[in-house]
Amino acid sequence: MSNQLIGTSIKRIDARGKVTGEAIYPGDRNFGDELWLKILFARRPHARVVKINTKAAETLPGVLGILTAKDVPVNQYGLQVPDQPVLCGPGSNKKGGDIVRFIGDHVAVVIAETEEIATKARDLIRVEYEDLPVVYNAEYAMSGQAPQLHPNVAKNIAAYQRIRKGDTDAAWNECNIIIEGTYQTPFQEHAYLQPEAGTAYMDAEGRITVHCAGQWTWEDQQQIAHALDLPPDKIRVIYDAIGGAFGGREDMSVQIVLALAVLRMYQRHGNRRPVKIIWTREESMIGHCKRHPMLFRTKWGAKRDGKLVAAEVEIIADGGAYMYTSNKVLGNAVMCCTGPYEFSHVKVDAYAVYTNNLVSGAFRGFGAPQAHFVAEMQMNKLAEKMGKDPVEVRLKNLLTVDSTLSVGTTIPGGVSLEKVLREAAWQSNWRSRVGPRGENDPDFPDELPRLVKGSGVAVAFKNIGFSLGYQENSWAGVEFHGESDIEQVIVKIAGADVGQGHHTVMAQIAAEVAGVGMDKVKVEASDTAFTESSGSASASRLTFMAGNAVKEAAQFALKKWRSEERPAIAEATWLAPKTTPFDPQTGHSLPNFAYGYVAQVVEVLVDTETGSITVQRVVCADDVGKAINPEQIIGQIEGGIVQAHGYALLEDFRMDKGQVLTPNFTTYLIPGVYDIPKQIVPIIVEDPHPQGPFGARGMAEMPMIPYTPAVAAAVFDAIGIWFDEFPLTPERVLRGLGKVRSRL
């Protein structure tokens, strides 16, 4: 192998198309004769659909059809549990299919000549609802007093997981210091710039073909086929360019209704015209999932020297109306709620709960940002109470290759927590901090100056890849073409490039094995007609999983090429080491096969007159195993920190009794260029994973995870006040300073 491309910042293969506007996103695909769809959203958090009157809409000139629940062959879908109707209403073949459970449920689909006609017709549909009690508080939902939102789901508990390690009841007597806290983490909107959109049609081979944006073509195909009661090979899913995802496209949005419209138009009218839909920003905001809001109650105990002994944690995650990925997100929160630290005694009880709020689902970090916020706040409070430096206390407790996790097993693939922490501290010129702050510090000023500086630190770890018993796998195909020399390499992969540069990295790996330049590599991706499953663009897994599959397939093709086979065509399905699920009583498991590690130091400037927080500098050290494309790694670090900045300081998503109060970007504020940290210092740490391709680990989620607790620690360092919930808006900061009455 030449080893000239691995570790080189190759220009992204999709760069030109995206900067010139040549790239085709789902909303850009035009056929000239397409029909338009509009969805009637329920706009009610909990109700029974008694009657739907579509007569006025059907008689509007230009309307070709209106679909309701009775038109759906199998009216259910769901990534983990098929608990959501495609369309809610009378005539549904699903028990409870006439119930809307959140405002984003779909009631009807209009098919019309133009988007304007479809919109007008949608507004002419009259629906008679029987309103039902709205369950909007997760604790109430699981109390046994709330209405049951799904059949056979007692106390609305969608998922429950627990850990029992050692004996926490007895362990408290060993502890010299105990830190208790109650923390609340908020919703977060994905805010990807391209809203949900797609086009579908019947192709020449009789397949319903759906052009859309998602994170797993194979899974989209399976769910569409299930709802339409068709064999999967009758469905073709193709991803166009994808304008952001961050977990929000793991679950269905427009895919099934597009395919349903094509099916019914063909069956009833022999009509093969394409159908198209583009959601508005408000439809996107209420129609796709959000980051799980979570409530944590936690208690940590340590020895006098700061050595951690015991932890108890209760987690209540608001899953919203349907399961989506709540059970998997909860698993990550369980793993991360004790942080990257070793405890001898752990007790965790975790619940994901159905409510009538917006659905909660996958979001960058997948439960880890919420859980690490709690763990790092606890660790920083412990250090402050002891009067010890927070870096020093962390170094005493960080997990190592010999440490036992809360689930009773050790970490595979190497552990670099100490290394990333030392790198972040060194590069930030961390000043050792000894002694109390805030109310525990007798020398802390009663009157703060207007502008106060502070710095904070946080560390995190998270799984790479699917886990807890799922057999991780990824498929790839590689072809070598030419006569005496390899003139072209074709890489076939299903993995979605959601902006992270996945396809470029796969091309680099194939070119490295083939010993050719990038100009000879062509990537054919994300089309179920010629690719098998590569798994989802999630869990920081595609470089690791699909990278191994591409590398192996390229090696097979090279072997054939050297045996004079022309063209040399090979496939590979790479299987990750097996994992095991939580034991239902103790949580004992080998939950993951690989992990990523990150540490951050954040420096802030707090304006005590206005409550505004300016992040002056962020130093972020990520262990990526091997940086296949360093510039893309830097982009992921910077992008993750900016997204985390919004979560920590700006993005105040509000709901009231199941209704969204912030349904657009005028009321839900995401970071602009003047809001983001003034300086980001990315540090690439390379501690190779023994099974990663060329040693690579996944890392796309890691920079997101420790940022909020690092900011909160820096704010405490500045003004001596702990904030156990966020975003740290100016109003919340001023409330903490006692300068305004709370409306939060």
Please give the backbone phi and psi of residue 685, each rounded to the nearest 5 degrees, phi first.
-105, 135
Axis crossing angle, helix 707-719 with helix 368-386, rounded to the nearest 10? 30
Q: Kindly state whether residues 101 and 224 are assigned to the same domain.
A: yes
Does position 741 have pLDDT exceeding 60, yes or no? no
How far is Cα 494 from Cα 532, in angstroms, rounded to an integer? Answer: 7
Q: Report cis status (omega within 30 of 0) of the bond before 293.
A: no
Planar angle of CA 680, 681, 687, nearest 5 degrees = 135
DSSP structural state of residue 234: G
Residue 102 lies in a domain: yes
- Supply the CATH number for residue 108's domain: 3.90.1170.50
CB burial class (10 A; 0-12, 13-18, 19+) of residue 115? middle
Residue 192 lies in a domain: no
How far is Cα 613 from Cα 718, in angstroms, rounded to an integer? Answer: 10
Q: Kindly state whether residues 461 and 547 are assigned to the same domain.
A: no
Last residue of a domain, one of 555, 575, 595: 575
Residue 288 lies in a domain: no
Axis crossing angle, helix 390-397 with helix 417-427, rounded to the nearest 10? 160
Average pLDDT over residues 19-30: 95
Q: Kindly state whether residues 304 and 438 are assigned to the same domain.
A: yes
Please, are residues 596 and 698 in contact by the beta-carbon 8 Å criterion? yes
The percent of residues above 90 in pLDDT, for the chain, comes to: 96
Q: Tell me: the pLDDT tens digits for 373-385?
A: 999 999 999 999 9
Q: How many CB atoms lie within 10 A of CB 283?
A: 20
Residue 173 lies in a domain: no
Q: Tell me: the pLDDT tens digits for 457-475?
A: 999 999 999 999 999 999 9
Q: Kindly state whether residues 715 and 604 are assigned to the same domain.
A: yes
Q: Kindly state whether residues 439 and 471 are assigned to the same domain.
A: no
Residue 321 pLDDT grade (very low, low, confident, very high; cuts 50, 70, 90): very high
How far is Cα 605 from Cα 124, in angstroms, rounded to an integer? Answer: 53
CB burial class (10 A; 0-12, 13-18, 19+) of residue 688? middle
Q: Kindly state whether residues 479 and 563 are assigned to the same domain.
A: yes
Q: Kindly state whether residues 490 and 553 are assigned to the same domain.
A: yes
Last residue of a domain, one of 535, 551, 575: 575
Q: Kindly state whether residues 443 and 478 are assigned to the same domain.
A: no
Does position 396 have pLDDT exceeding 60, yes or no? yes
Q: What is the number of alpha carbons within 13 Å of residue 655 lying toward its C-beta?
A: 27
The total number of structural domains in the chain stands at 3
Average pLDDT over residues 274-297: 98
Q: How many CB atoms lie within 10 A of CB 302?
A: 27
Q: Kindly state whether residues 450 and 475 are assigned to the same domain.
A: no
Q: Check residue 437 and give its pLDDT.
A: 77
Q: Tell me: the pLDDT tens digits for 235-251?
A: 999 999 999 999 999 99
- Which two structure tokens, joined as six digits, stand for 403? 């440490």
Residue 740 pLDDT grade (very low, low, confident, very high; cuts 50, 70, 90): low
Q: Kindly state whether residues 547 and 588 are assigned to the same domain.
A: no
Q: Check residue 585 and give its pLDDT.
A: 97
Strands (E), 219-324: 235-239, 275-278, 294-302, 308-320
Residue 4 lies in a domain: no
Last residue of a domain, one of 277, 305, 321: 277
Q: Tell me: the pLDDT tens digits for 418-442?
A: 999 999 999 999 988 787 777 777 8
Q: Tell me: the pLDDT tens digits for 589-628?
A: 999 999 999 999 999 999 999 999 999 999 999 999 999 9
Q: Check residue 289 and give its pLDDT.
A: 98
Residue 723 lies in a domain: yes
Residue 742 lies in a domain: no
Which among 600, 624, 597 has a CA at the least distance from the CA of 698? 624
Q: Check residue 743 and give its pLDDT.
A: 45
Q: Kindly state whether residues 125 and 227 are assigned to the same domain.
A: yes
How far is Cα 390 from Cα 712, in angstroms, rounded to an integer? Answer: 13
- Supply the CATH number for residue 601's domain: 3.30.365.10
- Which two structure tokens, joined as six digits, stand for 594? 């690989």
How far is Cα 663 from Cα 576, in angstroms, rounded to an integer? Answer: 41
Does position 145 have pLDDT exceeding 60, yes or no? yes
Host domain of residue 93: 26-133+204-277
Average pLDDT over residues 341-357: 98
Q: Check residue 23 and give its pLDDT.
A: 96
Q: Kindly state whether residues 257 and 401 are assigned to the same domain.
A: no
How far is Cα 665 from Cα 672, in angstroms, rounded to an integer? Answer: 11
Q: Check residue 480 and give its pLDDT.
A: 98
Residue 246 lies in a domain: yes
Average pLDDT over residues 635-661: 98
